[in-house]
Amino acid sequence: MSETQSHAGPLSALRLEERLRDTKLFFGQALRTFHATGSVVPSSAALARAMAEYLRRRPQLDPSLRIMEVGAGTGAITRGIAAEMRPGDTLDIVEANPEFAAHLERLLETDPVLSPIAAQSAVHAALVGDMGTDRTYDVIVSGLPFANFTADAVREILDYYFEVLRPGGTLSFYGYLYTKEVKAVIARREDYLRQARTSWVVQEWIDRYGIRSEKVFANIPPAFVHHLRKPEKDS
Protein backbone atom coordinates (compact mmCIF):
# COMPACT_ATOMS: atom_id res chain seq x y z
CA MET A 1 0.00 0.00 0.00
CA SER A 2 1.37 3.44 -0.92
CA GLU A 3 1.84 6.25 1.59
CA THR A 4 -1.01 8.18 -0.07
CA GLN A 5 -3.35 5.22 0.27
CA SER A 6 -2.37 4.59 3.88
CA HIS A 7 -3.37 8.15 4.87
CA ALA A 8 -6.55 8.31 2.80
CA GLY A 9 -8.63 6.51 5.41
CA PRO A 10 -7.71 8.69 8.44
CA LEU A 11 -7.95 11.89 6.38
CA SER A 12 -11.38 10.93 5.03
CA ALA A 13 -12.53 10.05 8.54
CA LEU A 14 -11.27 13.39 9.84
CA ARG A 15 -13.15 15.29 7.14
CA LEU A 16 -16.32 13.27 7.77
CA GLU A 17 -16.12 14.01 11.48
CA GLU A 18 -15.62 17.71 10.74
CA ARG A 19 -18.61 17.75 8.35
CA LEU A 20 -20.79 16.03 10.97
CA ARG A 21 -19.83 18.69 13.51
CA ASP A 22 -20.63 21.39 10.94
CA THR A 23 -24.05 19.88 10.26
CA LYS A 24 -24.88 19.52 13.94
CA LEU A 25 -23.94 23.14 14.66
CA PHE A 26 -25.72 24.42 11.56
CA PHE A 27 -28.90 22.49 12.36
CA GLY A 28 -28.96 23.74 15.94
CA GLN A 29 -28.47 27.37 14.93
CA ALA A 30 -30.97 27.06 12.07
CA LEU A 31 -33.69 25.94 14.47
CA ARG A 32 -32.98 29.00 16.65
CA THR A 33 -32.39 31.59 13.92
CA PHE A 34 -34.00 30.27 10.72
CA HIS A 35 -34.78 33.81 9.50
CA ALA A 36 -31.07 34.56 9.23
CA THR A 37 -29.92 31.06 8.26
CA GLY A 38 -32.44 30.11 5.58
CA SER A 39 -31.84 26.34 5.65
CA VAL A 40 -31.45 23.50 8.14
CA VAL A 41 -28.44 21.81 6.49
CA PRO A 42 -25.15 23.27 5.18
CA SER A 43 -24.64 23.89 1.47
CA SER A 44 -23.31 21.05 -0.67
CA ALA A 45 -19.90 20.81 -2.33
CA ALA A 46 -21.64 21.24 -5.70
CA LEU A 47 -23.18 24.54 -4.60
CA ALA A 48 -19.86 25.68 -3.13
CA ARG A 49 -18.14 24.98 -6.45
CA ALA A 50 -20.80 26.91 -8.37
CA MET A 51 -20.48 29.88 -6.03
CA ALA A 52 -16.70 30.02 -6.60
CA GLU A 53 -17.13 30.08 -10.40
CA TYR A 54 -15.58 33.52 -10.89
CA LEU A 55 -12.53 32.73 -8.81
CA ARG A 56 -11.96 29.70 -11.01
CA ARG A 57 -12.63 31.56 -14.29
CA ARG A 58 -9.93 34.22 -13.85
CA PRO A 59 -6.99 34.06 -16.26
CA GLN A 60 -3.88 32.38 -14.97
CA LEU A 61 -1.90 35.64 -14.96
CA ASP A 62 -4.57 37.74 -13.23
CA PRO A 63 -3.37 39.66 -10.17
CA SER A 64 -4.36 38.69 -6.64
CA LEU A 65 -8.03 38.95 -5.73
CA ARG A 66 -9.66 40.63 -2.77
CA ILE A 67 -12.60 38.43 -1.80
CA MET A 68 -15.47 38.88 0.64
CA GLU A 69 -17.81 36.08 1.70
CA VAL A 70 -20.98 37.11 3.52
CA GLY A 71 -23.11 34.72 5.57
CA ALA A 72 -20.48 31.99 5.73
CA GLY A 73 -22.35 29.79 8.24
CA THR A 74 -20.24 26.74 9.06
CA GLY A 75 -17.89 27.22 6.13
CA ALA A 76 -19.37 25.01 3.41
CA ILE A 77 -19.10 27.73 0.73
CA THR A 78 -15.85 28.95 2.29
CA ARG A 79 -14.27 25.60 1.42
CA GLY A 80 -15.26 26.08 -2.22
CA ILE A 81 -13.66 29.53 -2.17
CA ALA A 82 -10.52 28.22 -0.47
CA ALA A 83 -10.06 25.56 -3.14
CA GLU A 84 -9.79 28.30 -5.80
CA MET A 85 -7.64 30.80 -3.90
CA ARG A 86 -4.08 31.52 -4.95
CA PRO A 87 -1.11 32.95 -3.04
CA GLY A 88 -1.66 36.68 -2.62
CA ASP A 89 -5.47 36.48 -2.55
CA THR A 90 -7.18 37.76 0.60
CA LEU A 91 -10.54 36.73 2.07
CA ASP A 92 -12.78 38.60 4.50
CA ILE A 93 -15.33 36.18 5.98
CA VAL A 94 -18.35 38.06 7.34
CA GLU A 95 -20.69 36.14 9.65
CA ALA A 96 -23.15 37.85 11.99
CA ASN A 97 -23.94 34.74 14.05
CA PRO A 98 -21.31 34.64 16.85
CA GLU A 99 -21.50 30.84 17.17
CA PHE A 100 -20.78 30.43 13.47
CA ALA A 101 -18.05 33.08 13.55
CA ALA A 102 -16.24 31.32 16.40
CA HIS A 103 -16.57 28.00 14.56
CA LEU A 104 -15.05 29.54 11.42
CA GLU A 105 -12.11 30.85 13.45
CA ARG A 106 -11.47 27.30 14.69
CA LEU A 107 -11.78 25.87 11.17
CA LEU A 108 -9.07 28.21 9.91
CA GLU A 109 -6.76 26.52 12.40
CA THR A 110 -7.89 22.89 12.05
CA ASP A 111 -9.73 22.21 8.78
CA PRO A 112 -7.51 20.61 6.10
CA VAL A 113 -9.12 22.72 3.36
CA LEU A 114 -9.30 26.02 5.22
CA SER A 115 -6.10 26.01 7.28
CA PRO A 116 -3.88 26.61 4.20
CA ILE A 117 -5.60 29.99 3.66
CA ALA A 118 -5.62 31.04 7.33
CA ALA A 119 -2.88 33.64 6.86
CA GLN A 120 -4.83 35.15 3.95
CA SER A 121 -8.18 35.25 5.75
CA ALA A 122 -9.97 37.15 8.50
CA VAL A 123 -13.30 36.37 10.18
CA HIS A 124 -15.54 39.34 11.01
CA ALA A 125 -18.35 38.67 13.50
CA ALA A 126 -20.52 41.49 12.17
CA LEU A 127 -23.44 42.44 10.00
CA VAL A 128 -22.24 43.11 6.48
CA GLY A 129 -23.53 46.69 6.61
CA ASP A 130 -21.21 47.33 9.54
CA MET A 131 -18.10 46.47 7.51
CA GLY A 132 -17.82 50.01 6.20
CA THR A 133 -16.66 51.20 2.80
CA ASP A 134 -12.93 51.68 3.37
CA ARG A 135 -12.05 48.55 1.40
CA THR A 136 -13.05 47.26 -2.03
CA TYR A 137 -13.37 43.75 -3.43
CA ASP A 138 -12.87 41.95 -6.72
CA VAL A 139 -15.25 39.12 -5.82
CA ILE A 140 -18.16 39.00 -3.37
CA VAL A 141 -19.81 35.68 -2.54
CA SER A 142 -23.07 36.04 -0.60
CA GLY A 143 -24.83 33.27 1.27
CA LEU A 144 -27.45 35.51 2.83
CA PRO A 145 -31.02 34.11 2.57
CA PHE A 146 -32.57 37.00 0.63
CA ALA A 147 -35.93 35.22 0.51
CA ASN A 148 -36.21 35.65 4.29
CA PHE A 149 -35.54 39.42 4.20
CA THR A 150 -37.70 42.40 3.32
CA ALA A 151 -37.36 44.01 -0.09
CA ASP A 152 -35.89 47.14 1.49
CA ALA A 153 -33.27 45.12 3.38
CA VAL A 154 -32.25 43.24 0.22
CA ARG A 155 -31.98 46.46 -1.78
CA GLU A 156 -29.80 47.96 0.96
CA ILE A 157 -27.51 44.90 0.98
CA LEU A 158 -27.19 44.84 -2.81
CA ASP A 159 -26.47 48.58 -2.86
CA TYR A 160 -23.72 48.00 -0.32
CA TYR A 161 -22.23 45.12 -2.31
CA PHE A 162 -22.00 47.26 -5.42
CA GLU A 163 -20.55 50.15 -3.44
CA VAL A 164 -17.59 48.09 -2.23
CA LEU A 165 -17.26 46.00 -5.40
CA ARG A 166 -14.64 47.35 -7.76
CA PRO A 167 -15.70 48.16 -11.35
CA GLY A 168 -15.63 44.89 -13.28
CA GLY A 169 -15.89 42.84 -10.08
CA THR A 170 -18.38 40.02 -9.61
CA LEU A 171 -21.09 39.22 -7.07
CA SER A 172 -22.35 35.64 -6.69
CA PHE A 173 -25.36 34.65 -4.58
CA TYR A 174 -27.83 31.80 -4.37
CA GLY A 175 -31.40 31.06 -3.42
CA TYR A 176 -33.56 27.98 -3.29
CA LEU A 177 -35.68 26.73 -6.15
CA TYR A 178 -39.47 26.74 -5.93
CA THR A 179 -39.68 28.57 -2.58
CA LYS A 180 -42.05 31.19 -3.97
CA GLU A 181 -44.32 28.53 -5.44
CA VAL A 182 -44.37 26.59 -2.16
CA LYS A 183 -45.11 29.71 -0.13
CA ALA A 184 -47.93 30.59 -2.51
CA VAL A 185 -49.61 27.40 -1.30
CA ILE A 186 -48.69 27.10 2.37
CA ALA A 187 -47.56 30.51 3.65
CA ARG A 188 -49.58 33.31 5.14
CA ARG A 189 -50.54 35.96 2.62
CA GLU A 190 -48.33 38.65 4.15
CA ASP A 191 -45.31 36.32 4.15
CA TYR A 192 -45.88 35.36 0.52
CA LEU A 193 -46.24 39.02 -0.51
CA ARG A 194 -43.07 39.97 1.38
CA GLN A 195 -41.09 37.30 -0.46
CA ALA A 196 -42.65 38.28 -3.78
CA ARG A 197 -41.51 41.88 -3.29
CA THR A 198 -38.05 40.66 -2.35
CA SER A 199 -37.86 38.48 -5.47
CA TRP A 200 -38.77 41.50 -7.62
CA VAL A 201 -35.79 43.41 -6.19
CA VAL A 202 -33.45 40.47 -6.78
CA GLN A 203 -34.73 40.04 -10.34
CA GLU A 204 -34.23 43.74 -11.03
CA TRP A 205 -30.53 43.40 -10.16
CA ILE A 206 -30.20 40.21 -12.19
CA ASP A 207 -31.77 41.93 -15.19
CA ARG A 208 -29.40 44.89 -14.88
CA TYR A 209 -26.14 43.19 -14.01
CA GLY A 210 -26.52 39.42 -14.46
CA ILE A 211 -23.89 37.58 -16.51
CA ARG A 212 -24.61 33.93 -15.68
CA SER A 213 -27.18 31.82 -13.83
CA GLU A 214 -27.29 28.11 -13.14
CA LYS A 215 -29.30 25.54 -11.21
CA VAL A 216 -27.66 23.22 -8.68
CA PHE A 217 -29.82 20.18 -8.03
CA ALA A 218 -27.13 18.42 -5.93
CA ASN A 219 -28.08 20.45 -2.86
CA ILE A 220 -30.75 20.26 -0.15
CA PRO A 221 -32.91 21.98 -1.19
CA PRO A 222 -31.97 22.48 -4.89
CA ALA A 223 -30.64 25.96 -5.53
CA PHE A 224 -30.08 28.54 -8.23
CA VAL A 225 -26.87 30.58 -8.42
CA HIS A 226 -26.67 34.03 -10.00
CA HIS A 227 -23.48 35.85 -10.96
CA LEU A 228 -23.56 39.64 -11.45
CA ARG A 229 -20.87 42.00 -12.66
CA LYS A 230 -20.47 45.64 -11.74
CA PRO A 231 -20.00 47.73 -14.90
CA GLU A 232 -16.52 49.00 -15.61
CA LYS A 233 -18.01 52.51 -15.74
CA ASP A 234 -21.33 53.77 -14.48
CA SER A 235 -23.82 54.09 -17.32
Predicted pLDDT at 214 = 96
Residue type at 24?
A: K
The domain that contains 141 carries what CATH number?
3.40.50.150
Residue 7 domain-assigned?
yes
Chain mean pLDDT for the chain: 84
Predicted pLDDT at 183 = 53
Structure-model confidence comparison of residues 154 and 37, the more confident one: 154
Residue 222 exposed, middle or buried by CB count within 10 Å (0-12, 13-18, 19+): middle
Per-residue pLDDT tens for 180-217?
555 554 557 777 688 889 999 999 999 999 999 999 99
Task: Report the distance separating Cα 235 and Cα 217, nearest Å.
Answer: 36
Confirm if 216 and 47 have CB atoms less than 8 A apart. Answer: yes
Q: pLDDT at residue 171 above 70?
A: yes
Q: Which domain holds residue 199?
A: 3-229
Task: Identify which of 156, 181, 169 has the alpha carbon closest to the alpha carbon of residue 209.
Answer: 169
Predicted pLDDT at 31 = 45
Helix axes 189-209, 179-186, angle to 10 degrees: 160
> Percentage of the chain with pLDDT > 90?
66
Structure-model confidence comparison of residues 5 and 154, the more confident one: 154
Residue 235 domain-assigned?
no
Residue 105 domain-assigned?
yes
Per-residue pLDDT tens for 53-92?
999 989 877 789 999 999 999 999 999 999 999 999 999 9
> Percentage of the chain with pLDDT > 70?
77
In this prediction, residue 179 has a pLDDT band, given cuts at 50, 70 and 90, of low
Residue 234 domain-assigned?
no
Residue 55 domain-assigned?
yes
Q: pLDDT at residue 174 above 60?
A: yes
In this prediction, residue 137 has a pLDDT band, given cuts at 50, 70 and 90, of very high
Residue 89 domain-assigned?
yes
Predicted pLDDT at 29 = 46
> What's the domain count of the chain?
1
Predicted pLDDT at 40 = 41
Whether omega before 221 lies within 30 degrees of 0, making that bond cis, reads yes
Residue 27 domain-assigned?
yes
